[in-house]
Amino acid sequence: MNLCTLTVVPYTFILLEARFGSSSLQNYEALLTSQVLSPGAKLIWRLALGFFIVLPLGLSVAYKRFLGGTSSAQITVDPPGQYGIDFPDISTWAPSGDAIYLLATSISPFLSASQYNPQPYPAVDAFPSPYGYNTLLLSGNAAALLDIPTKSYVKRAQASLSNTAGEEWYLNSTVDAYVAMQAIGSDFQSNDRTWFKAVNSSVNLWPAQGLSGAYLWEKPGVSIGFMPSEQLSRCFIGVYENSEVQEGFLTFSNPRYSEYASFRPYAQEFSISRRRCSGQWKLNSTNIVLLGGDCDLETPVNSSVLQGPFMVPDPYALLPELHYVFTGFAPSGDHKSIGTEWLNATYAVATVTALWARALYMQERTELSLADYGGLYPAVHESIISVRPTLKAMPLLYMVLAVHPAITLLALLVAARLYHVPVGRGFGVVSILSGLEQSSLQIIRGAGLSGRLASQVRLQVKAEVSEFKREAKVSYRLAGTNSRMADRTQLQNNREYA
């Protein structure tokens, strides 16, 4: 807008100087070159030129007062996207065929909040609490891993977002999710029949085949144990003492191992299922983040993916990660208490993340069709809100934005009103030299090197018309300030001037 204004205003200034000013050669020079400090120029023109130098700077500062605004609109995508058990490409190396990588990247935001960069434990009214791109802590003893927009859907959306700097999408959709809920009131601790039924079911699974334990370093004989059971509808997990695992990890496939007796008092039972949830994600050109959600724990959905082939987590992929997740919860020295407010939540998140990572891993490694198990489906009740950064829509903003157009319009109106003044848009040094009367050059003699005049010099503009030759031309004459100003002439319509 400033460039547009400066194509109109200087010409208007020259017209005003020719029509109403002293028609000083120094004034013309200042206006033609936009030099505020041009020698001999009148103060009013210095101020006018200075104003148009400061104006864009002042307006740019004013614009910044209105940064931080947004505009939003609901949009649709064509073709519609799909949701399912998937993960986004969140780095330059993102192998979906690496179960440890999948588990680590999904659970990392939760671990950062609970251990590495500890945050206050969520208040009761803060649940469900989201972490990362798919983790939703439903309560202190329940967690869900939501299905997310598929990788191809996210890439397609991010390609569109990259066309507008700062644009974000807010996606709301109904999805399925892995849900792990602690079995409150379970009698496996006191009822041997219930416990051995779970153990016998576990040793018949593959590849886990019973209880798996990983050494936790902090104190000899302390391990983290994981025991899936009953075709993954139940899982047992716990940090326990008196373990035979002295380093690395071991799998105990015989129900008679004493490790089961050590694990049982500390074990926590979680029921596993697929449930219907709602989720809200924020998607930009580089990342996707889960903002919130909720789950309907009363209405199960298709959970056949849990009974799919090879869905039991592999201890070789699971236990190295659980080792790092639970080391901070292991007792050290004489401290016997291993209970913290984050512990049960971590049990739930780790359990459900392990099952999710295994399903995604098997999808990539065995060409398992998750669509056949309800793990891939079109968007359900999806809404997308596009939010773009804009200026804050305030009354003062419109005044700031109107400054340049108003000045430009005023300059155009003044120039139109002074159309008959004998100064054209090409007015400059060439036009002055070509029309200058040679007899008047004596007054500027001696300024050839310095470009400075000792006193004010008027530039008298005359529009001359020859009635006999039908010729019309504009000529210029230099005169001192004491000379009488020639009558101001005007251009005539329907004549071409040279």
pLDDT tens-digit profile of 147-203? 999 988 999 998 888 778 889 999 999 999 999 999 988 899 999 999 999 999 999
Phi, psi of 202 (to 5 degrees): -70, -40
Q: What are 74's strand-pairing partners? A: 385
Question: pTM of the entire structure?
Answer: 0.73
| Mean pLDDT, range 397-409, rounded to an integer | 92
Q: Do residues 83 and 147 make contact, with C-beta atoms less than 8 angstroms apart?
A: yes
Pair of tokens at residue 123? 């208040």
Give the percent of the chain with pLDDT over 70. 93
pLDDT in tens, 236-261: 999 999 999 988 889 999 998 999 99
Residues 6+ apart with CB under 8 A from 24: 17, 40, 41, 42, 456, 457, 458, 459
- pLDDT of 212 strictly over 60: yes
Q: What are 169's strand-pairing partners? A: 283, 386
R_g over Cα of the chain: 40
Higher pLDDT, 432 or 46: 46
Q: What are 133's strand-pairing partners? A: none
pLDDT in tens, 325-342: 998 887 764 444 445 789
pLDDT of residue 93: 59
433 three-state secondary structure? helix
Query: What percentage of the chain's residues is helix, strand, coil (to nearest 5)?
Result: 35, 25, 35
